[in-house]
């Protein structure tokens, strides 16, 4: 998954949620979208937003790289709306969502993933819609709460089809963490671990939340469990290093940062790790 931003500081619950869903996103830019964009949740609002959100994203990030191929987009939309063959409509929904994803228009990505799930509501499509809506919520800095609600709804539908999907359950838990009742989400994460103590998604999520809440000793415990299960979990090692750093254990922090750097060659990730290594040297 491509990074949206580089996160340098853990600064609140929404950022913790963002870190959970965007594993290679490590934190810098928490700017909110405009008020007009924040209103876009239903179909009519979505259509209004499409005419503005791409330009807003480019202005916020200072790059025309994220522009949409308007001709291709218009062609795909016309064909999606005019054909009746379900298989072709699924293909066009994917193609439209891909164009919007390249442009950084995550609300629109989620909208077309929802349409795809409506056409064929199997587990994979429901999960794709859930993840797309949570990514859109995260990209809004937590401003568009209805996107979070939709994400939870699609996760629940996927879980109803496959009750044994503990990863989906753990991810759905994080949609509760971003509400006024975060303990419900934490309780679900603990339920997942009670059923599967080796569930990486739940361990990672609880570790992130422990750092966010200042419980660094607990974070160390969670991330050590995680990397014992998966030694190649680069983000787990990074956040273990961060927890050690917060505890003043510089040598342990440096060791984990260096191991994390070796496991992920993403330039953004390595840049963040290097910044922390310089800070503790």
Per-residue pLDDT tens over the stretch 2-50? 332 233 333 334 444 444 433 333 332 222 333 333 334 344 445 434 4
pTM for this prediction: 0.76
Is residue 235 one of the residues assigned to a domain? Answer: no
Q: Check residue 271 and give its pLDDT.
A: 93
Q: Within 13 A of 38's CA, how many CA atoms are on the CB side?
A: 11
Is residue 181 one of the residues assigned to a domain? Answer: no
- Reported as a pLDDT band with limits 50, 70 and 90, residue 181 is confident
* Spatial CB neighbours of 262, under 8 Å, sequence gap ≥ 6: none
| Among candidate residues 15, 2, 20, 3, the one with its CA nearest the CA of residue 173 | 20
Number of domains in the chain: 1
Other beta carbons within 10 Å of 53 = 24
Is residue 97 one of the residues assigned to a domain? Answer: yes
CB 129 within 8 A of CB 110: yes
How far does the chain reach from its first CA to its final CA, in angstroms?
31
Is residue 158 one of the residues assigned to a domain? Answer: yes
Is residue 66 one of the residues assigned to a domain? Answer: yes
Mean pLDDT is lowest, of 36-50, 195-209, 263-277, for 36-50
Q: Check residue 14 and give its pLDDT.
A: 44
Is residue 120 one of the residues assigned to a domain? Answer: yes
Stretch 190-218: mean pLDDT:
96
Is residue 185 one of the residues assigned to a domain? Answer: no
Stretch 188-204: mean pLDDT:
97
CB 254 within 8 A of CB 238: no
Share of the chain above pLDDT 90, in %: 70
Domain of residue 93, residue span: 31-163
Distance CA 216, CA 73 (A): 47
Is residue 155 one of the residues assigned to a domain? Answer: yes
């Amino acid at each position: 998954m491509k990074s949206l931003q580089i996160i340098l500081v853990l600064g609140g619950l929404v950022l913790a949620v963002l870190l959970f869903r965007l594993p290679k996103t490590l934190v810098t830019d928490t700017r909110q979208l405009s008020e007009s964009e924040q209103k876009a949740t239903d179909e009519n609002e979505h259509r209004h937003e499409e005419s503005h959100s791409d330009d807003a994203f480019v202005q916020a990030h200072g790059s025309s790289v994220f522009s949409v191929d308007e001709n291709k987009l218009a062609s795909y939309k016309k064909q999606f709306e005019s054909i009746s063959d379900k298989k072709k409509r699924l293909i066009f929904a994917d193609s439209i969502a891909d164009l919007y994803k390249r442009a950084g228009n995550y609300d629109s990505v989620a909208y077309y993933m929802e349409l795809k799930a409506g056409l064929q509501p199997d587990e994979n499509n429901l999960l794709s819609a859930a993840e797309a809506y949570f990514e859109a919520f995260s990209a809004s800095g937590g401003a568009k709460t209805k996107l979070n609600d939709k994400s939870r709804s699609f996760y629940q539908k996927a879980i109803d089809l496959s009750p044994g999907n503990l990863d989906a359950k753990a991810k759905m838990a994080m949609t509760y963490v971003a509400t006024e009742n975060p303990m419900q989400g934490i309780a679900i994460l603990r339920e997942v671990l009670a059923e599967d103590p080796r569930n990486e998604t739940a361990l990672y999520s609880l570790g992130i939340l422990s750092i966010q809440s200042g419980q660094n000793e607990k974070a160390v415990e969670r991330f050590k469990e995680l990397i014992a299960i998966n030694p190649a979990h680069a983000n787990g090692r990074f956040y273990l290093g961060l927890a050690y750093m917060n505890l003043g254990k510089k040598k342990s922090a440096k060791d984990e940062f260096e191991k994390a750097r070796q496991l992920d060659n993403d330039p953004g990730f390595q840049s963040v790790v290097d910044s922390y290594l310089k800070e503790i040297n």
